Structure 1
Amino acid sequence: MGASQSRPHEGQIIFRSETPVQFSSNVVEQLSERQASPTPTPERQATLDEHVRTRIQDEVKQLRKAEEDVQEEIRVALEKENLDREKAMVSDGQRDGAGSVKSSAVLMGDLEEIRSKIDRFQTRKSLANYPELRASQEALVSCYKSHPTSSLDCWMEVVNFKNSVAQLEKKDYFKTLQ
């Protein structure tokens, strides 16, 4: 009994209805308007736009992630290359002008040492050791503050300050020669 339905049918099966199918005029008009207009309806367009936006955002996220991965790979490769180069310099015995190989850590130590020397030099050169220069500087600053609109009134203090600096330079110059 059910065997005939289980067998696959060869060919195409067509069903015919004896009752005619009728559509209302509103449905026919709506379908013909949609077919005639090349643009989708506003609801359909909004759905399409949202779908496109979502896909674009997903692609942008994937591209950013890929870019971050590539940048990380480049950073790691450069670090490895620099370390390999330093190791090669040490093992090959390449020397700089002073005759020693310098690594980044040694260079940072040297830089800190130079900074400390500069700080010591600056403290030695402070105006505390030169009271006459400090006095003329303070007189000049106070004159400028008391005459903010007429700074030319402080010409005498400027001349005194210049003379103090010149005397100090001569004295230090002669100290360095001795």
Structure 2
Amino acid sequence: MGGSQSRVDSDNKVYHPETSIQFSPAVVSHLSDHAAAPEIPPERQSTLDHHVRSRIQAELAHLRAEEEDVRSQIERALQKENLDKERAIARLDDGAEGAEGGVKSGPTLLGDLDEIQEKVQRSKQKQNAAEVDAARQASAAVISCYQNNPTSPLDCWKQVSNFKQSIALLEQEYIKSLH
């Protein structure tokens, strides 16, 4: 009693319905969408995204390293080419002290350029000092003329004119130095 109900049948039974079963196109579409693109859990998607990002970053770092290597190789080749050209020019130069004696390196040339610029600045300062001295002398001439002619200051027009010209020269030189 009841023993037959608790037994498991090992035979599968297939039932064939007497009427055909039809599904709506919306249900078929929904089932095919889920079969084509199965849902990925958010944790798994996050892990996949992190993995993809890390691979992209690694590839970028590798490409940047390769780019830097190529750039350094190009720079070395250009430096070697420039040095070879400088040596060739030095050999052609009759006034050179030898094949390598006439060739100067970039830092040496920059030092020479700085030295020349300093000399030009000193020369300009000496010239400006001379012009400033001329303006001071003209100013002193005006003052002494006014002191010598307290009753007739109009007699000092030459000294005033010279002073104005010296100031005008100073102004022009200052404006030129700004350009």
TM range (shorter): 0.3 to 0.5
TM-score (norm 2): 0.47
Could you say which structure has the larger radius of gyration?
2
Provide the TM-score with structure 1 as the length reference: 0.48
